[in-house]
């Protein structure tokens, strides 16, 4: 039961069903799912270990919130991961998967696009064949998922076109254009301008 509640809450956090900084009422969660408090608390502790939830002693559990410096740090580290892997492991990028993602990204709605977006970037990082790097990136990208869902729909459509241009460059085996496109894409994603940092802080 703990795992089920963990998965439920994690998806709600990543899909913006729960707001940044929102307090999580353990009793309410237990009552809504007709379970005891113990599995709810265990699930929240697990999410706290993954730093998706903040556990404040004698206060309670809260969805993680982000300061502006934290957002800048997340974006900077993401650039470092992705640009390094693209430039150094370009020939190892899974072209078949990239082609499949092009079709999905072209036709997806905004929520599904977020999933395919993350798959595309993860595929670039996975090209390095370094399990440690891929795992650390996957942890980082959970934060990005939380933040990306606060972007305006207009930015999402611009991002979709940037992703398709990146995919075309990879499929054309043009590393220079792919790197230039990826850099421009990551450099123009300014999450902090599209979320209310004050309302996400606790």
pLDDT class of 187 with cuts at 50, 70, 90: confident
Q: Are 137 and 122 within 8 A, CB to CB?
A: yes
Q: Would strands 23-24 and 53-56 be described as parallel, antiparallel, or unpaired?
A: unpaired
pLDDT 10s digits, 151-184: 544 556 788 899 999 999 999 999 999 999 999 9
Residue 146 vs residue 78, higher pLDDT: 78
Q: Are 126 and 71 within 8 A, CB to CB?
A: no
Q: Are 61 and 26 within 8 A, CB to CB?
A: yes
pLDDT 10s digits, 58-91: 899 999 888 888 888 888 999 999 999 999 999 9
pLDDT of residue 153: 47
Average pLDDT of the residues in 87-108: 95
pLDDT of residue 190: 58
pLDDT of residue 160: 87
Look up residue 152 and give its two tokens: 């305006």
Distance, CA of 198 to CA of 202 (rounded, Å): 8
Q: Are 52 and 10 within 8 A, CB to CB?
A: yes
> Max Cα separation, the chain?
56
Q: Tell me: pLDDT of 194 over 80.
A: no
Q: Tell me: pLDDT of 191 over 60.
A: no
Look up residue 42 and give its two tokens: 């265990």
């Amino acid at each position: 039961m703990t795992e089920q509640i963990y998965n439920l809450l994690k998806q709600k956090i990543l899909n913006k069903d729960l707001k940044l900084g929102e307090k999580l009422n353990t009793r309410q969660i237990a009552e809504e799912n007709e379970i005891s408090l113990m599995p709810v608390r265990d699930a929240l502790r697990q999410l706290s270990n993954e730093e998706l939830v903040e556990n404040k002693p004698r206060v309670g559990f809260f969805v993680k919130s982000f300061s502006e410096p934290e957002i800048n740090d997340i974006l900077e580290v993401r650039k470092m991961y992705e640009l390094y892997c693209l430039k150094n492991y370009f020939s190892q990028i899974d072209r078949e998967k990239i082609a499949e993602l092009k079709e999905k990204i072209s036709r997806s709605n905004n929520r599904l696009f977020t999933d395919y977006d993350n798959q595309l970037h993860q595929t670039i990082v996975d090209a390095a064949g370094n399990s440690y790097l891929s795992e650390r990136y996957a942890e980082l990208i959970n934060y990005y998922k939380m933040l990306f869902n606060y972007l305006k729909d207009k930015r999402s459509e611009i991002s979709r076109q940037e992703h398709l241009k990146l995919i075309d460059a990879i499929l054309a085996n043009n590393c220079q254009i792919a790197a230039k496109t990826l850099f421009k894409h990551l450099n123009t994603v300014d999450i902090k301008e599209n979320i209310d940092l004050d309302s996400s802080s606790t």
